[in-house]
Homo-oligomer: A and B are copies of this chain.
């Protein structure tokens, strides 16, 4: 491959190559989306091999030696500046990391994940961790190898954390969690001493179609562009993107529980607004990608919790909701509704947890992953350790594996280091929202009027537009003038529940 001599042409050929890889990755995302929404059951086997081939093709295109030469050459050009330089340096970093893995290691990992996912499904169905243990153990072994291949300074888990959230380490997360553990525990205890709020009105019969219509309308009101995306139904809600002008979200309707669908719609809309807000002209480049998982989660949590579970928001929307469900909600006040949708209670299932206890679920997983990666916990001891940690953090013990250590799909996918980004997302969300409200007082005025354009404008400008050019912490610093500070989240949560529970 002869490289063009002028930097602009060289950069253009880098862009072309990256966009072709993006095309294949986005095609893979379409296949995954279809798998979760419309795939007929017998189609699974062919689909799985089609996805594997696309994934291998993208990996092969990205790790080709010619890509390395191109990137190295570009990185050395002094006349490559600004966002273009950052794009190239970030891509070179990814390239170097990806090239650490031999194709035989990648194949072993991919096979181990397939086996492990399959066994997890069976184990969950049978409610027996034992069926998952062996393949999980093999996968953990490979993840520890992966950490060694990537390399780390202090803790093997750091190497894996960094893959999901660049720059995050055990030291950093230990600090973060230590800072919230006791305050949240104390708050939970105080709430436990007060009369519980009533949320039984959420668990009546809410017909599917009316829920769906209300949710679709809400998504549009929050700013989701239905010309550049859509919502469908899937077993578990998720957001995916095939380019910022085609962003798909999904939800699930439970006719016996109103809470499930609507907040999933708002949560996924938060993710989707981020994806739709990425710059279209930067397709395929770091400057056109989301910054990190925690920043992604900060967007979903911000809309779900700071907007969608707030009193000002429901001041406007609750009468509309009552008009749709007069039988179910006619006799409920806006304040009672607000309290009900913010009920705090320790539970066993992470995805059903409230904003406070949620972080204990994450801490359990974080502690376990840390121990597993440093080799001080054996795979067979996971269920016991899980029970112990739930007892310690939430005062509950799962009666079985299904409501215990088999509840999440992540480990079966080999995603060790993912969970902490959920908590980080909440913490960033609190900081972003409070600073946005402080910088633009109009936001406080628009929400009780059923609008959120000013808020979305702030997010577009401060978070969305810069893609992956800044790391989470630098993005936070630029947007809020400070690094991540736990006082925002703690202040928010204390204030909210003091009010709701009359503490």
Contacts and interface: CB of A to CB of B under 8 A. Distances in A.
A478 B228 CA distance: 51
Interface stretch (A34-42, A104-112, A317-325): A34-42
Given A46-B246, A246-B47, A54 B229 contact: no
Contacts of A43: 228-229, 242-243, 245-246
B50 A242 contact: yes
A49 interface: yes
B47 A242 contact: yes
Interface stretch (A20-28, A360-368, A372-380, A389-397): A20-28
Contact of A228 (B40, B50, B226, B232): B40
A50 B34 contact: no
A31 B26 CA distance: 10
A194 B241 CA distance: 59
Nearest to A246: B43
Q: Please give the count of copies of this chain that the complex contains.
A: 2
Contact of A24 (B38, B53, B232, B242): B53
A57 B230 contact: no
A41 B230 CA distance: 10
Nearest to A23: B53
Contact of A42 (B23, B47, B227): B227
Interface in A16-71: 19-20, 23-24, 26-28, 30-31, 34, 38-43, 45-47, 49-50, 52-54, 57
A52 B226 CA distance: 25
Nearest to A24: B53
A225 interface: yes
B26 A246 contact: no
Given A46-B245, A226-B40, A34 B24 contact: no
A46 B243 contact: yes
B54 A227 contact: no
A46 B227 contact: no
Where chain A touches its partner, the secondary structure class is helix
A47 B33 CA distance: 14
Given A43-B246, A246-B43, A50 B38 contact: no
Contacts of A45: 245
A158 to B, nearest CB: 35
Interface string A205-231: 000000000000000000001111110
A362 B467 CA distance: 53
A260 interface: no
A54 B245 contact: no
A488 interface: no
A422 interface: no
Most buried by B among A34, A50, A54: A50
A316 interface: no
A283 interface: yes
Nearest to A225: B42
A57 B24 contact: yes
Contact of A57 (B46, B57, B228): B57
A246 to B, nearest CB: 3
A359 to B, nearest CB: 35
Contact of A53 (B20, B52, B242, B246): B20
Contacts of A39: 246
A23 B141 CA distance: 31
Contacts of A246: 39-40, 42-43, 46-47
Contacts of A41: 227-228
Contact of A31 (B30, B40, B232): B30
Contacts of A232: 38
B242 A46 contact: yes
A43 B248 CA distance: 11
Given A27-B27, A42-B246, A19 B49 contact: yes
A229 B42 CA distance: 8
A23 B230 CA distance: 26
Given A19-B49, A30-B34, 6 more contacts: A23-B52, A30-B50, A34-B34, A46-B243, A46-B245, A47-B242
29 contacts: A23-B52, A24-B50, A24-B57, A27-B27, A27-B30, A27-B31, A27-B53, A30-B30, A30-B31, A30-B34, A38-B232, A39-B246, A40-B226, A40-B245, A40-B246, A41-B227, A42-B225, A42-B228, A42-B246, A43-B228, A43-B229, A43-B243, A43-B246, A45-B245, A46-B245, A47-B242, A50-B242, A50-B243, A57-B57
